[in-house]
């Protein structure tokens, strides 16, 4: 008798602490919504039933305690989904590569790859399409991280663009981005015949990305056909391509900017210090603060180099990436500023601020 009374008391305490009705808990424990009520009114059950119920109650109590090993937060779930996607590529694609852009999203992606295959190293190389105008620190950071993780690093620079000395100051941002980034990427993918390339794009970044699949099919010409995408159900991914065709795979599609920052903070992931504020030499051009990263930067007669506390919200080619003035020199401060700020992340990038459909067009043409 006391066994049952003790049991009922524990169930009631659990229900109260958990804010659930007794019948809900009863259903979970006894598979019968009225079971506890019956026991409470003097009903009986076999010892076996009681033992099984106690096991379930233990599990429920553990879950409630908050320290349970079985709890999964939204970050845990995002992480698990990304790992699943990466393993699928490793198991199904013949020649995958991870596009590494050195930004915070790439840092998260690289960290997830380490987790996905541990204790093995990620079974694919990293590739960076260098435009020759990236921040110096990005290049140092890239080389160091690749070495630390122990992955092969492929660096591709569009040789024609290099020969023609293509740059944003001489050719304008659109031509520079197209030749050094878009064409450079296509060249590299063709050269190494990769059939799958991981990218760090997220669906919350931009409207047309919200509709792109996680496994995004590209024709032989690297084109994306928005209206003819493969259906993507459950976590089954169709990875099959013909020779010459390929997949762009976005393992962090379902992460938001806040998720990325929280995860970097929680997991202590290395990111370039450009994301944190410090005194840096900048010049104001067309209302945007541009870092003087090397002596290729033309300084006009009306322009002057100033030392300002600045940081960067995205990383790319330094002449095309505006700095923001900020005192945030630690990660929590950056996150705090991000949360309190009122303009969205990609606004700093020159490439997105054309008409609404521009990103979609660029993607159809092969931009990542």
Backbone angles phi, psi at 127, to 5 degrees: -135, 135
Please pick, from the candidates 75, 155, 276, 309, the single residue that binds other proteins as defined by CB under 8 A. 75
Please pick, from the candidates 262, 284, 288, 296, the single residue that binds other proteins as defined by CB under 8 A. 262
- The pairing of strands 126-129 and 153-156 is parallel
Of 5 and 68, which has the nearer Cβ to other proteins?
A: 68
DSSP 128: E
How many residues bind other proteins (CB under 8 A)? The answer is 72
Question: How far is it, in rounded angstroms, from Cα 163 to Cα 353?
Answer: 30
Under the binding rule (CB under 8 A), the answer on residue 341 touching other proteins is: yes
Minimum distance, C-beta of residue 115 to other proteins, in the bound complex (Å): 4
Q: How far apart are the first and last CA of the chain?
A: 68
x/- contact string, 271-310, with other proteins (CB under 8 A)?
----------------------------------------
Minimum distance, C-beta of residue 225 to other proteins, in the bound complex (Å): 11
Using CB under 8 A, which residues numbered 174 to 213 contact other proteins?
203-204, 207-208, 210-211
Among the listed ranges 37-45, 95-103, 176-184, 261-269, the one in contact with other proteins (CB under 8 A) is 261-269
Minimum distance, C-beta of residue 167 to other proteins, in the bound complex (Å): 28
For the range 144-150, what are the long-range contacts, defined as Cβ-Cβ under 8 Å and sequence gap of 24 or more? 145/107, 145/110, 145/270, 146/100, 149/110, 149/114, 149/121, 149/122, 150/121
Please pick, from the candidates 3, 17, 236, 299, the single residue that binds other proteins as defined by CB under 8 A. 236
Task: Judge contact between 21 and 64, C-beta under 8 A.
Answer: no
CA 321 from centroid of its chain's CA atoms: 20
Please pick, from the candidates 238, 276, 283, 306, the single residue that binds other proteins as defined by CB under 8 A. 238
Using CB under 8 A, which residues numbered 130 to 169 contact other proteins?
none
- Could you list the beta-strand ranges (E) of 206-305: 215-218, 246-249, 278-285, 288-291
Please pick, from the candidates 32, 229, 285, 296, the single residue that binds other proteins as defined by CB under 8 A. 229
Question: How far is it, in rounded angstroms, from Cα 116 to Cα 128?
Answer: 21
Using CB under 8 A, which residues numbered 101 to 130 contact other proteins?
114-121
């Amino acid at each position: 008798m006391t066994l049952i009374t003790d049991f009922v008391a524990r169930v009631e305490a659990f229900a109260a602490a958990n804010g659930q009705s007794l019948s809900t808990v009863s259903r979970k424990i006894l598979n019968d919504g009225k079971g506890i009520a019956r026991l409470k009114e003097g009903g009986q059950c076999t010892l076996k039933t009681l033992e099984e119920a106690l096991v379930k109650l233990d599990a429920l109590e553990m879950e409630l305690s908050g320290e349970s090993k079985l709890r999964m937060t939204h970050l845990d779930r995002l992480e698990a989904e990304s790992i699943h996607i990466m393993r699928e590529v490793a198991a199904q694609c013949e020649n995958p590569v991870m596009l590494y852009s050195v930004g915070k999203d790439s840092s998260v992606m690289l960290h997830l790859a380490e987790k996905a295959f541990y204790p093995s190293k990620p079974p694919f190389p990293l590739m960076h399409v260098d435009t020759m105008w990236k921040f110096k620190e990005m290049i140092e950071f890239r080389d160091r991280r690749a070495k630390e993780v122990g992955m092969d690093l492929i660096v591709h620079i569009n040789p024609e663009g290099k020969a023609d000395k293509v740059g944003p100051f001489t050719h304008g941002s659109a031509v520079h981005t197209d030749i050094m980034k878009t064409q450079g990427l296509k060249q590299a993918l063709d050269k190494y015949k990769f059939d799958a390339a991981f990218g760090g794009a997220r669906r919350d970044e931009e409207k047309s990305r919200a509709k792109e699949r996680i496994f995004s099919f590209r024709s032989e010409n690297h084109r994306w056909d928005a209206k003819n995408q493969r259906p993507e159900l459950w976590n089954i991914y169709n990875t099959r391509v013909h020779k010459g065709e390929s997949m762009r795979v976005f393992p962090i599609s379902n992460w938001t900017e806040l998720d990325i920052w929280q995860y970097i903070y929680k997991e202590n992931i290395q990111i370039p210090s450009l994301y944190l504020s410090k005194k840096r030499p900048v010049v104001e051009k067309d209302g945007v603060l541009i870092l003087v990263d090397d002596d290729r930067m033309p300084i006009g007669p009306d322009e002057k180099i100033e030392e300002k506390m600045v940081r960067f919200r995205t990383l790319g080619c330094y002449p095309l990436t505006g700095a923001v003035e900020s005192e945030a020199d630690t990660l929590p401060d950056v996150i705090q500023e991000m949360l309190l700020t009122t303009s969205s992340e990609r606004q700093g990038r020159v490439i997105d601020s054309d008409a609404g459909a521009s990103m979609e067009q660029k993607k159809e043409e092969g931009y990542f």
